Amino acid sequence: MTICYQVPQGRTMHRGFQIEGLSDTFGTESDSRGRAIRDKQISTVRSTLDAYLSDDGSLDAKALSKAWFPAIKADVFISHSHNDEAKALRLAGWLEQHFGLNSFIDSTVWNSADALLKKIDDKYCMQENRTSYDYDKRNLSTSHVHMMLAMAITEMIDRCECLFFLNTPASITPGKTINEAKTSSPWIYAEIAISKTIQKKQLPSSRRVLDFVAMDSVSKKADGSVPLIHELDVAHLSRVSEMQLLIWAIKSCLPPKSNPLDILYELIPARKYTHL
DSSP symbols for 73-109: --SEEEE--GGGHHHHHHHHHHHHHHH---EEETHHH
Amino acid identity of residue 128, one-letter, is: E
Greatest mean pLDDT among 41-45, 60-64, 160-164, 179-183 lies in: 160-164
Rg (CA), the chain: 20
Q: Determine the pLDDT at residue 45.
A: 75
* Residues whose CB falls within 8 Å of the CB of residue 134, separated by 6 or more in sequence, listed in order: 125, 126, 127
Q: What is the DSSP letter of 205?
A: G
Q: What is the mean pLDDT of the chain?
A: 81
Q: What are phi and psi of 66, to 5 degrees?
A: -65, -35
Q: Determine the pLDDT at residue 203.
A: 65
Distances (CA, A) of 171 to 78, 156, 165, 239: 13, 20, 9, 15
pLDDT per position as a tens digit, 193-248? 998 887 566 665 555 544 444 333 333 444 555 567 888 888 889 999 999 999 99
For the chain, the domain total comes to: 1
Asked if residue 211 is part of any domain, the answer here is: no
Compute the distance between CA of residue 228 and CA of residue 102 in angstroms, rounded to an integer. Answer: 33
Distances (CA, A) of 69 to 110, 113, 150, 202, 268: 9, 8, 10, 27, 32
When comparing pLDDT for 211 and 253, which is higher?
253
Average pLDDT over residues 138-145: 91
Asked if residue 274 is part of any domain, the answer here is: no
**In this prediction, what percent of the chain has a pLDDT beyond 70?**
79
H-type alpha helices, 160-272 = 186-197, 242-253, 260-267
Q: Determine the pLDDT at residue 42.
A: 83
Asked if residue 215 is part of any domain, the answer here is: no
Asked if residue 72 is part of any domain, the answer here is: yes
Asked if residue 276 is part of any domain, the answer here is: no
Say if residues 261 and 74 touch (Cβ distance below 8 Å).
Answer: no
pLDDT per position as a tens digit, 158-191? 889 999 999 999 998 776 555 668 898 888 999 9
Q: How many CB atoms lie within 10 A of CB 155?
A: 17
Q: Determine the pLDDT at residue 176.
A: 57
pLDDT for residue 253 is more than 60 = yes
The 3-state DSSP class for residue 152 equals helix
Compute the distance between CA of residue 111 and CA of residue 134 in angstroms, rounded to an integer. Answer: 23
H/E element, 238:
strand 238-241
What is the dihedral angle through the alpha carbons of 132, 133, 134, 135, rounded to the nearest 10 degrees?
-110
The 3-state DSSP class for residue 255 equals coil
Domain that holds residue 148: 10-201+227-267
Asked if residue 129 is part of any domain, the answer here is: yes
The 3-state DSSP class for residue 13 equals strand
Asked if residue 121 is part of any domain, the answer here is: yes
Q: Determine the pLDDT at residue 8.
A: 37
Peptide bond into 70 cis (omega under 30): no
Asked if residue 231 is part of any domain, the answer here is: yes
